[in-house]
Amino acid sequence: MFTNDPFLNLENLHHPDTQALIRQSRFQTQWSLIDDPTFDAIRQDMTSVLQDEQQIPFCQEFRARMYHFYQSEEWPKGVYRVCSSASYRAGIPQWQILFSVADFDAVLGDDVALQGVAHYVEAPEHVLISLSAGGGDAAYTIEFDLAKQCIVAEGFHFPLGKSVVSWRDENSVWVCPAWDERQCTQAGYAKQVWLLCRGQRFEEAVPVFDMDAGGMMVNAWRYLDNQGSPIDLIEAASGFYHKQYYQVMADLQPKVLNLPDDCELMGYLYGQLLVQLRSDWMRANQCYPAGSLVAVKLRKGILGAAEVIFVPDASQAIECVETTRRFVVVSILSHVKSTLLAWQFVDGHWQSISVPSLPSGTLEIVDQPWGGDVLYVAISDFTTPLSLYTLDLQLQELCVMRRQQNQFDAEGVKIKQYFALSADGTQIPYYHVGQAMGKKVPTLVYVYGGFGMPQLPYYLGGIGRYWLQKGYAFVLANVRGGGEFGPAWHYAACGVHKHRSVDDLLAVLQDLYQHDRASAAHTAIQGGSNGALVVASALCRAPQLLGAVVCEVPLTDMLRYPYLSVGASWLDEYGDPEVENEKAALALLSPYHNIQAAPAYPPVLVSTSMNDDRVHPAHALKFYARLRQLKQPVWLAVADQGGHGGSVTQADTASELALLFSFLYQTIAYNQI
């Protein structure tokens, strides 16, 4: 397991070496970044922005009631509240608090944060509340009665773990338990499926499925078809992109569905599964192309006729699929721009329908009230704040619900899309946002490039407020590994080809410099998680192209990543260090193993959370320790609360943003234009 590592002790978060390193890093970061007057000014200002009552309350609607998670200075952990749809639509919501997250600390004897609230849609006052320990992925599950505002006595309650619990009906749940290591795969996720009925102890539940511990995880859920009978499904994932699906029959026996092992189930309507393909599917002498959305009839575990709903072209990708009572709605990316399309099942076939014209910008379907044909859609772009719309597909009616206030003055800010030529000749798109461009303009380049996740033009609230308004520039790099152009764009930078994400980022930087849009001395690259792997690898390969690096919750040790936290679940994305050719590729990619003593590295800010149970904090700690050992300019920010997804309070979120800009001001913007 490649344990010949001088900083191996840092994988033990309780080891004295780890604690000493964290204490030293906090002193350094406090002295040089947090004590800067800029930090406190931004932290206070951003906190006030986040707690502004004019922020759009994005809700879940059930039976004409709007449910919302709200945080404020008074409620730092947040409260779950509700108002009538009528008062919400009138712009004067009359909120009623249903529960406070902080109250569960005493109940559970832990410091918890809200991870999610799952309503049973046919009786929405019955909810399953997921409460994470300090913001990590592991969570407690509590059944709560919103009408009585109390925990359900003898209800569906489960201990801390990475379990998956979902409603089957009002009196039963699907449980994929992960609070005991015997229930878990080697990746640390659930491997079993149980059906638990109300009034039963877990020991009395019915075991339905058990996968091999060498797999990745299982999941079970019920699709409620507005136009037919519900179905129960199991997803057994052997890897991140390889899954076997089963239908659970009336006798609770799972029946395998003969679907491609790399497809994704996206919905169920009119007795048909909606399947998104990642590779070509040959079936009955017909080829259904990769990237397409296909409807497949399902009857008692047997797949019937299939019909293609949508096939993206080379410039397109399916971003999101939603079902309403009568329609299938698909959010399409075309040249990294959003479009909404819809279909209805008429006379035995799926037929495209017109959709009211939507404003330009990146769109996100933020809610779809069950049982109707209304969508809530949020739209924004780099300089246009979010607007919330209701789209009624049956009435063909679009209405504005809310408009978020501007967080910065976008006067004079221009948005341009350019293309850089990567090492293998592939054109890589990127957006440049700013009032000006040039060698002296401080420029922040953001990248992700992994797991098929697209990076889209989103409203740059904080970046606009503390960066663009100063005349500085922002760049969004759409490198391979993401999902901007469908499965092929993602697969091009997986496994032994993961280095292409780094190639693409370096190509974007070189294109910026060659066209005098920026210069290395005034350019920083930023990435989180997989994106942090990409920027850290770029740092090792071409430090001369960078003025600074922001590396957030990173993966850096690619030879030991499968043995840390849930790293084994990412073998499909990165490759296996136990396989010789994949180990060789990972060794070349791994930032921790490619830091050299000779080059002068630009300043690096590394961040992690001691509560991150997805990407182990050791990745950040070891990377920081290695750079520090070589006396390179590096800072480490270690949070005690919040998991891989970030902070759990608005004050902590504001502090993270303040630290980022304090670092950037002192590095690439030190000689301000």
pLDDT in tens, 339-398: 999 999 999 999 999 999 999 999 999 999 999 999 999 999 999 999 999 999 999 999
pLDDT at position 672 is 54
Mean pLDDT over all residues of the chain? Answer: 96
pLDDT at position 53 is 84
The Cα 527–Cα 85 span in angstroms is: 39
Closest CA to 209 of 174, 165, 250: 174
pLDDT at position 228 is 78
pLDDT in tens, 289-338: 999 999 999 999 999 999 999 999 999 999 999 999 999 999 999 999 99
For residues 554-572, average pLDDT: 97
pLDDT at position 225 is 87
Are 622 and 3 within 8 A, CB to CB?
A: no
pLDDT in tens, 464-513: 999 999 999 999 999 999 999 999 999 999 999 999 999 999 999 999 99
For residues 213-231, average pLDDT: 92
Helices 16-29/618-629 angle, 10° precision = 70
For residues 204-217, average pLDDT: 96
The Cα 41–Cα 39 span in angstroms is: 6
pLDDT at position 673 is 43
pLDDT at position 58 is 96
The Cα 504–Cα 524 span in angstroms is: 16
Assess whether pLDDT exceeds 70 at residue 28.
Answer: yes
The Cα 223–Cα 194 span in angstroms is: 17
Closest CA to 135 of 672, 642, 477: 642
pTM strictly above 0.85: yes
The Cα 346–Cα 166 span in angstroms is: 32
285 burial type by CB count under 10 A (0-12 exposed, 13-18 middle, 19+ buried): exposed
For residues 154-172, average pLDDT: 97
For residues 454-458, average pLDDT: 96
SS (H, E, C) 489-531: HHHCCCHHHCHHHHHHHHHHHHHHHHCCCCCHHHEEEEEECHH
pLDDT at position 54 is 85
pLDDT at position 1 is 46
Annotate 595-622 with DSSP letters as a single string.
Answer: --SSS-PPPEEEEEETT-SSS-THHHHH
pLDDT at position 3 is 54
The Cα 469–Cα 437 span in angstroms is: 14
Predicted confidence band of residue 671 (pLDDT cuts 50, 70, 90): low
Are 16 and 635 within 8 A, CB to CB?
A: no
pLDDT at position 599 is 84
